[in-house]
């Protein structure tokens, strides 16, 4: 692939947060432009409007934070890459405006530190790391087991920082505004660590985690651009392009659903044969599912998809010598850790001092590791896919989300490491601030034993999951 890794790399350096008021001011000034004009294919379409609900909760939290009474973390749903911009708008625009309306004076800035994935700078460029550092970004090397530099910094900022902190507990985008992926335990663990540090220091602050829901919808249903995208994908896949009669409004959802179903079945069949033939995987025909025809078709497709994802992960795990255990997300993280360890070589002090032969072997390992990680990248796009997401609610948004996930899949196969998604139309955002969860109320249980601590983290993670699911269902 044109942008694939060809050589072993030195370890990724930690980028410490260096909050710079001038850079923050500039980004705040540029925010409306960043939201609206994200020039991509077909349309100069971005976010045209953001609606924020229950912002008073954040105003109250910021007021207490600035008075030294509490520490808090914002845990937000992460369906799209635009989420950080939406969060930036919420805390830098909506919160100050709501405070003024309530007659509450908050200190400038009403901003936050935030955690981002260190790998973002690999595809976006070093400039992103520089900018994120200056506006409060804390990088976490997601594919690295226990990234102590990132975790220590996030923990210290949570306890001692002049601003609160924001984290996406899902760990990655899932492409679904109306589905919350299984949460990773890091947010809950940070909450208890913060409470523990405050307790040891005899500090009186209470610790809160506030869930924030994010949902996107199109200002106008983008059926025309959706048709163009499906036509492109059909052509790229080798299928005949299906023409849609613009006047067939009454039957539109059924037509688009059948197109998606046809394309999905074709891609599944091609990938099953790919793994059978070239990776010698046993993928027999699936039979024996009984129910009505439409449910049978959906259940069968989902069963085939889940089996395909498991097969792709097994192929990568076999190469890296890993066991196939845990959730799909757990397996993806272990594979990412193994791949990055082979590419970003912490075990080699200086790659430039290697003999040409050894450097060639190191490059070879990096290339093979990157190629095998591609199996995992395909899986990442489909962790939140269900059999009835579109059928149970055939909105333009759900059609678009599912189609864009399939676009990502096809683009990765076409050797584009980070697909550039087309923008189908102007979108609007609805952000809902939930009720804060008090970590201190759970501290005594967490502190009682190791087993109780693990269970407390699990319980808090589950409660946060339920809170986020409730916020996006409203």
CATH code, 165: 3.40.1130.10
What pLDDT was estimated at residue 143?
A: 57
**In the chain, how many domains are there?**
2
Residues 192 and 313 in one domain: no
Residues 335 and 210 in one domain: no
Residues 272 and 367 in one domain: yes
Residues 215 and 186 in one domain: yes
Helix ranges, 381-395 (H): none
Residues 166 and 233 in one domain: no
- Average pLDDT by consecutive 10-residue portion of the chain (474 residues)? 73 91 92 64 63 97 98 96 91 96 95 90 84 94 70 94 96 89 93 96 97 95 93 94 74 89 93 96 72 61 91 97 90 91 92 95 96 92 78 91 92 74 89 97 94 96 97 86
Residue with tokens 């449910």: 295
Residues 258 and 215 in one domain: no
One DSSP character per residue, 237-284 reads: HTPPPPP--TT--TTHHHHHHHHHHHHHHHHHHHHHHHHHHHH----P
What is the model's pTM? 0.90
What pLDDT was estimated at residue 144?
A: 56
Residues 277 and 316 in one domain: yes
- List 53's β-bridge partners, or say none: 432
What pLDDT was estimated at residue 414?
A: 83
What pLDDT was estimated at residue 122?
A: 79
Residues 182 and 327 in one domain: no
**Domain of 253, in residue numbers:** 223-413
Residues 130 and 96 in one domain: yes
Residues 328, 333, 336, 341, CA torsion sign: negative
Residues 288 and 144 in one domain: no
What pLDDT was estimated at residue 39?
A: 35
What pLDDT was estimated at residue 67?
A: 97
Contact between 173 and 81 under an 8 Å Cβ cutoff? The reply is: yes
Residues 203 and 322 in one domain: no
């Amino acid at each position: 692939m044109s942008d694939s890794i060809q050589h072993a790399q030195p370890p990724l350096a930690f980028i410490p947060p260096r909050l710079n008021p001038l850079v923050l001011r500039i980004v705040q000034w540029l925010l409306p432009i960043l939201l609206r004009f994200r020039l991509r294919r077909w349309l100069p379409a971005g976010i045209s409007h953001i609606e924020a609900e229950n912002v008073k909760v954040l105003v109250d939290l910021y007021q207490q934070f600035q008075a030294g009474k509490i520490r808090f973390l914002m845990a937000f749903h992460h369906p799209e890459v635009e989420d950080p911009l939406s969060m930036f708008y919420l805390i830098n625009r909506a919160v100050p405006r709501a405070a003024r309306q309530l007659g509450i004076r908050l200190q400038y800035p009403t901003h936050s530190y935030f955690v981002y994935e260190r790998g973002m700078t690999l595809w976006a460029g070093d400039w992103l790391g520089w900018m994120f550092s200056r506006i409060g970004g804390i990088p976490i090397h997601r594919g690295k087991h226990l990234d102590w530099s990132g975790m220590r910094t996030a923990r210290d900022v949570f306890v001692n920082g002049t601003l609160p902190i924001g984290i996406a507990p899902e760990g990655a985008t899932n492409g679904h505004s109306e589905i919350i992926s299984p949460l990773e335990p890091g947010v809950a663990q940070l909450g208890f660590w913060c409470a523990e540090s405050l307790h040891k220091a005899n500090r009186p602050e209470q610790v809160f985690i506030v869930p924030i829901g994010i949902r996107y919808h199109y200002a106008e249903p983008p059926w025309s651009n959706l048709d163009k995208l499906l036509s492109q994908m059909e052509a790229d896949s080798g299928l005949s392009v299906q023409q849609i009669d613009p006047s067939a409004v009454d039957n539109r959802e059924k037509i688009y659903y059948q197109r998606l179903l046809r394309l999905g079945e074709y891609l599944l069949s091609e990938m099953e044969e790919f793994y059978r033939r070239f990776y010698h995987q046993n993928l027999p025909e699936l039979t024996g599912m009984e129910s009505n025809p439409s449910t049978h078709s959906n259940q069968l497709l989902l069963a085939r998809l889940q089996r395909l994802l498991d097969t792709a992960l097994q192929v990568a795990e076999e190469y890296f010598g890993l066991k196939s255990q845990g959730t799909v997300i757990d397996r993806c993280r272990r594979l990412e850790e193994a791949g990055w360890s082979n590419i970003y070589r912490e075990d080699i002090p200086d790659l430039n001092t290697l003999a040409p032969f050894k450097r060639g072997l190191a490059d070879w390992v990096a290339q093979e590791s990157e190629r095998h990680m591609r199996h995992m990248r395909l899986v990442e796009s489909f962790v939140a896919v269900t059999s009835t997401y579109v059928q149970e609610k055939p909105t333009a948004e759900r059609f678009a989300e599912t189609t864009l996930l399939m676009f990502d899949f096809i683009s990765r196969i076409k050797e584009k490491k980070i697909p550039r998604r087309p923008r189908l139309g102007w979108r609007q955002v609805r952000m809902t601030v939930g009720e804060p969860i008090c970590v201190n109320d759970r501290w005594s249980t967490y502190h009682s034993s190791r087993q109780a601590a693990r269970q407390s983290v699990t319980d808090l993670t589950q409660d946060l999951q339920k809170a986020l699911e409730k916020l996006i269902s409203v």
